[in-house]
Amino acid sequence: MAMRDLVTGAPSCGETSSSSNPLGALANALIGSSSKTQERLKEIPTSVSTSSNGNFLAGVEEPLVTLPGSEFEHPLQPNIQGSHFLQGFHSVDQNRLSDVWDEIQRPQLPFAHGSPHMANIPLEHARLQPDLNGPPQQVLSSFLHSFVNSSHGGVPFRPASLPLLGLSEGDKQCIRDRSTIMARHFFADKSEDFINGQVNALLSSLEIDNHVRGRGPVPGRYPELEEYWNESLAMKPAPHVADGWINEFSQNRVGHADPNAWVQSFEQQHGANGWATEFEHEQSQLGMIGQMRGANIPNLAAMEQTRMLAHTLAQNSDPKFQNSKFLQFVSKMSRGEISIEENQFKPATISSGDWAAEYEQQHNGGQTWADQFAHEELSREPQGWVNEFSAEREQHGSVNDEWVNEFSKLNVNDDWADEFGRQVAEGAFGETSADGWAEAYDEYMNEQAALKQQSDASRGVYVFSDLNPYVGHPNPLKEGQELFRKGLLSEAVLALEAEVLKNPENAEGWRLLGIAHAENDDDQQAIAAMMRAQEADPANLEVLLSLGVSHTNELEQQAALKYLYSWLSHHPKYGSIAPQEQPISFYHADVARLFTDAAQMAPDDADVHIVLGVLYNLSREYDKAIESFKTALKLKPKDYSLWNKLGATQANSVQSADAILAYQQALDIKPNYVRAWANMGISYANQGMYEDSIRYYVRALAMNPKADNAWQYLRISLSCASRNDMLEACDSRNLDVLQKEFPL
Amino acid sequence: MPVFKTPFNGYSVKFSPFYENQLAVATAQNFGILGNGRVHILQLTPNGPISELAAFDTADGVYDVCWSEAHDSLVIAASGDGSVKLYDLSLPPTNNPIRSFKEHTREVHSVDYNTVRKDSFLSASWDDTVKLWTVDRNASVRTFKEHAYCVYSAAWNPRHADIFASASGDCTTRIWDVREPGSTMILPAHDFEILACDWNKYDDCIIATASVDKSIKVWDVRNYRVPIAVLNGHGYAVRKVRFSPHRASAMVSCSYDMTVCMWDYMVEDALIGRYDHHTEFAVGVDMSVLVEGLLASTGWDELVYVWQHGMDPRAP
């Protein structure tokens, strides 16, 4: 039974629960348990005591086939049983699993075929010292004992000094890691400081450096959050408000003999550390708002990071959840997994506590000030920010108008809001989201995130998708290439995004991402990705060419010329043709002349002809462009994107019938080429064949529902074809209805 | 009631699903912080002491054991060095373990054998992952990596062969279907680390979670916004929770408060029994599938107790 049945309480599920009638069972158990025991005993699984030397391996021939889920990591050999199993799930997820199935061509890992003695598997014999060869056991044992005992009374651990034990590095790490994790269990109701104090007392008396790095990078609770936090701190442009008080209190702290003192005294007063940590967290968030306010940072990457941080935060509305996130964040430092030396974390968090304590002293009442804070600060802050932001927007009036128009088409907001709504509906956020301030805060963060998302993209900043399932994938690049090869562009985009998040300097990842977007008919994102690729690898010819093409599509002549020129000057063969110093502005005629020279130099280089074709598109000399592309196609007949370029050029020069032939060529080579499907629709529409164009648009949209341009084209064609009855389906983006109505 | 003294600190105890008088115990030196480990296979004798059938030494502490559901002589152990070891009781200790599955990069904290299809088992590790294994392959079948902090426990659904739950220090319990690529449900069950989870044996939609916040919560996965029951009574982190194989609403738990508690989550006064026989943290507890009301517990006081519910575990 699938999980969803289990959850929704499908018939089979209800049946099982009713058959067990818990109250009846309880009554049985309480009244006549002895007779029940009798019954039960009959059901004892008779021990299948076949000879035990390895007979449990019987049926080892197909162990994986019988184990659902194994195909996710260990591909199965295609066989009847397996495919039957998979067919069962096609209804659940039509594409994903069949793709997985396609992938199942890799050879199966060899394993022992029912070898009765398992001779080919290395036996591990118990090789161990009866005792640790290092430390004197008795001493260490009683020592650790006193550590554990200290948890009983909650008394601070005051160890006596120990004789030199000679623990190995590995032992020390082991003690450090394990005792910290365990201490967190024992001392759950103590403050984090107390826990750290206990563990540090243990560690320092064992002469273990608490800041020894853990065994490799141990993933913490919210690794991505911390990363952004680290980076945004690292690229902080100038000290801002949040830092002011941090510094101030770090200075104040010098006077304090015991930094834990306030925590303990506070706990005595209030019995819990709840609000203090919550407050710390709010402070940290305010700090982040501070970062946001400095959003004019020239560094695009910084904006990207802060925006994503906002996203991460905005997606959790449960204040307690956020709270414990921060706890874990702090706790990671205690595990030595964050390098404390070179950043301000340690003083920042401790001093925030000091600040809280001081504030508390002035106001004498945790509750009131917390409320006050929630009402005043938080309601004021967002508005202030919004005002500031709108003020900023007005300054950039002209630019803004452009991108506002552009993005009213793109509906970025809606996507995000839908996603958010869906999550809320699923209850992913939990119950406590009812808390007023948390919601208000979230809304504010959402707005902010959405606004930033728009402005970022308009400035050529790459906008990442929310909720990327490929984050954490061991090899997203390979996955992305694979998905791309299969034409699953939207999936490929996600995988490649995961790759470039993991390796921001991977030019190839960015380039593929850009190509995927270009093929998916999203030139803005394509350009943003390609610009990152170019940053990572300024001389990559493919990247430069793609940038030139994408800018040509966006009719940005100067930018297009610049990149096409760079392509030439970086090319090993034609670099010599380009003048030594890069011109300040580019003239189409000059660049075109250079490429004509190049084409004469190497008439067999398809790339030069492609660039020429692009250049002639820029100058709207379509006949010449078509010539160039046709020449290139003679050299590279299998280049589907080249066929598409030819088709697009022909369409632009009002040769739509020819264009359809060219697109058909492209689609024959690559059936999943969304851009060609959409272009095909345009060509039909241009010829007045609206009914046909609709079918192609719908086909393209079925492959990439995010192709916003195609939705617009579809709407126009529907109107022209007098199919106003389907406009609603188009506006609600109901592909099911459209596909049924307009099959291809 | 019989008692068995282990040389190391007890970590886990499990009754054999095949023989009502056999149980496996996982132990670790120095509370599992540093040192060796040992797996004990114990045998109950009628009205007599507990005898040791076999013992297997390991180079690092053993945090959990489970019995194979397919074969009566196989035991799986979770080791602090990140390995999962397979022991065959019918072979001498020198030939054991017959397998060592080494993939986890940190301590393995729990193992659980599939009770429906009986062909595979899970290991939950402090490296934030759960892995799916079969006894006949050296490599894991799948790795479930979504938790953001240590995974302390993973438990198969008793009715559905492909569904299991995992409990993690990231304050969530996740429900998984091994046929699906990711988790099918995320249950933000507690505000503190979750140390254990278990499924109701009579209602396949009911799950219990035990947390550092001292509470046990019972959830219906069809409506997981509010717990069905919150069981308070432990004075420290709750380390393990198990549903009774015989009574739909009965549960047993053990805690760092050194007690073992019996619960009936359906009634108002849910705490129906408390045993404070351990003198150190009680970290392992189990209920016999074959003998109703038979309980076993172990703790850091290096003692394994076996007793009938309602009796005093320390009674001679």
Q: Who among A47, A126, A428 is closest to B72 (CB)? A: A47
Interface membership of A91 toward B (CB under 8 Å): no
- Quick one: tokens of A293? 């306010």
Chain B closest-CA separation from residue A60 CA (Å): 7
Task: Compute CA distances B267 → A22, A165, A441, B229, B230, whole Å.
Answer: 11, 53, 40, 9, 11
Q: What element of type H or E holds A672?
A: none
Amino acid occupying residue A44 = I
pLDDT, one tens digit per residue, over A258-278 is 444 444 444 444 444 444 444
Letter string b/e over residues A302-336, b meaning 16 or more CB atoms within 10 A of that residue's CB: bbbbbbbbbbbbbbbbbbbbbbbbbbbbbbbbbbb
Amino acid occupying residue B167 = A
Contact across the interface for A185 and B134, Cβ inside 8 Å: no
CA angle A673, A677, A678 (to 5 degrees): 115
More confident residue, A740 or A356: A740
Residue A10 confidence (pLDDT): 40
Whether A315 and A322 have beta carbons less than 8 Å apart is answered as no
Chain A closest-CA separation from residue B46 CA (Å): 17
- Packing angle, helices A708-720 and A690-703, rounded to 10: 160
Of A33-47, A71-85, A250-264, B75-89, the one with minimum mean pLDDT is A33-47
Chain A closest-CA separation from residue B205 CA (Å): 6
Closest CA to A285 of A335, A332, A222, A225: A225
CB atoms within 10 A of CB A722: 9
Q: How confident is the model at residue A123 (pLDDT cuts 50, 70, 90)?
A: very low
CB atoms within 10 A of CB A82: 20
Is the pLDDT assigned to residue A4 strictly greater than 50? Answer: no
Interface membership of A55 toward B (CB under 8 Å): yes
Gap between the Cα atoms of B269 and B264, Å rounded:
8
Q: How confident is the model at residue B114 (pLDDT cuts 50, 70, 90)?
A: very high
Task: Compute CA distances A649 → A3, A517, A608, A614, whole Å.
Answer: 51, 20, 17, 9
Contact across the interface for B237 and A60, Cβ inside 8 Å: no
Is the pLDDT assigned to residue B75 strictly greater than 70? Answer: yes
- Quick one: tokens of A517? 């977007």
Q: How confident is the model at residue A437 (pLDDT cuts 50, 70, 90)?
A: low
Q: Who among A52, A178, A215 is closest to B71 (CB)? A: A52
Is the pLDDT assigned to residue A214 strictly greater than 50? Answer: no
Interface membership of A2 toward B (CB under 8 Å): yes
Within A554-673, where are the H helices? Answer: 557-570, 588-601, 606-618, 622-635, 640-652, 656-669
Of A341-345, A529-533, B310-314, the one with minimum mean pLDDT is A341-345
State the residue for tokens 């947390």.
B211
Residue B277 confidence (pLDDT): 92
State the residue for tokens 């100038």.
A238
Is the pLDDT assigned to residue B54 strictly greater than 50? Answer: yes
Q: Who among B36, B132, B222 is closest to A69 (CB)? A: B132
Q: What is the CA A296 to chain-centroid distance, rounded?
A: 24
CA angle A219, A224, A226 (to 5 degrees): 85
Residue B79 confidence (pLDDT): 94
Q: Who among A52, A179, A222 is closest to B148 (CB)? A: A222
Interface membership of A298 toward B (CB under 8 Å): no
Of A299-303, A399-403, A535-539, B210-214, the one with minimum mean pLDDT is A299-303
Partners of residue A224 in chain B, C-beta under 8 Å: none
- Quick one: tokens of B162? 């492909």
Is the pLDDT assigned to residue B175 strictly greater than 90? Answer: yes
Mean pLDDT over the full length of chain B:
92
Closest CA to A500 of A543, A455, A530: A530
Residue A592 confidence (pLDDT): 83
Gap between the Cα atoms of A36 and A43, Å rounded:
11
- Quick one: tokens of A488? 């699953």
Residue A656 confidence (pLDDT): 80
Pick from A161-170, A199-208, A392-401, A621-630 the range whose average pLDDT is largest.
A621-630
Pick from A64-78, A131-145, A192-206, B204-218 the range whose average pLDDT is largest.
B204-218
Mean pLDDT over the full length of chain A:
60
Chain A closest-CA separation from residue B190 CA (Å): 9
* Residues B195, B201, B203, B208, Cα dihedral to 10°: -10
The values of phi and psi at residue B62, to 5°, are: -105, 125
Q: How confident is the model at residue B4 (pLDDT cuts 50, 70, 90)?
A: very high
Residue B240 confidence (pLDDT): 96
Residue B111 confidence (pLDDT): 96
pLDDT, one tens digit per residue, over A130-175 is 333 334 455 566 666 666 666 655 555 555 444 445 667 777 777 8
Gap between the Cα atoms of B214 and A8, Å rounded:
30
Pick from A244-248, A722-726, B139-143 the range whose average pLDDT is largest.
B139-143
CA angle A621, A626, A627 (to 5 degrees): 100
Gap between the Cα atoms of A228 and B22, Å rounded:
53
Return the DSSP state at A724: G
Mean pLDDT of A400-423: 48
Closest CA to B138 of B86, B112, B99: B99
CA atoms in the 13 A half-sphere facing the CB of A119: 2
Q: How confident is the model at residue A290 (pLDDT cuts 50, 70, 90)?
A: very low
Gap between the Cα atoms of A310 and A736, Å rounded:
34
Contact across the interface for A219 and B203, Cβ inside 8 Å: no
Gap between the Cα atoms of A266 and A357, Å rounded:
8
Closest-CA residue of chain A to B301: A145
Mean pLDDT of A362-372: 44
SS3 sequence, chain B? Answer: CCEEECCCEEEEEEECCCCCCEEEEEEEHHHHCCCCEEEEEEEECCCCCEEEEEEEEECCCEEEEEECCCCCCEEEEEECCCEEEEEECCCCHHHCCCEEEECCCCCEEEEEECCCCCCCEEEEECCCEEEEECCCCCCCCEEEECCCCCEEEEEECCCCCCEEEEEECCCCEEEEECCCCCEEEEECCCCCCEEEEEECCCCCCEEEEEECCCCEEEEECCECCCCCEEECCCCCCEEEEEECCCCCCEEEEEECCCCEEEEECCCCCCEEEEECCCCCCEEEEEECCCCCCEEEEEECCCEEEEEECCCCCCCC
Gap between the Cα atoms of A553 and B247, Å rounded:
70
Residue B88 confidence (pLDDT): 94
- Cis amide prior to A63 (ω within 30 degrees): no
Q: How confident is the model at residue B297 (pLDDT cuts 50, 70, 90)?
A: very high
Residue B251 confidence (pLDDT): 95
Contact across the interface for A56 and B29, Cβ inside 8 Å: no
Percent of chain A as helix, strand, coil, to the nearest 5: 65, 0, 35
Interface membership of A40 toward B (CB under 8 Å): yes
Residue A104 confidence (pLDDT): 38
Pick from A82-86, A486-490, B58-62 the range whose average pLDDT is largest.
B58-62
Contact across the interface for A74 and B141, Cβ inside 8 Å: yes
Gap between the Cα atoms of A530 and A516, Å rounded:
11
More confident residue, A653 or B240: B240
The values of phi and psi at residue A696, to 5°, are: -70, -40
Gap between the Cα atoms of B52 and A149, Å rounded:
29
Mutation pick from B19, B34, B125 vs chain A, by most beta carbons of A within 10 Å, is: B34
Residue A208 confidence (pLDDT): 61
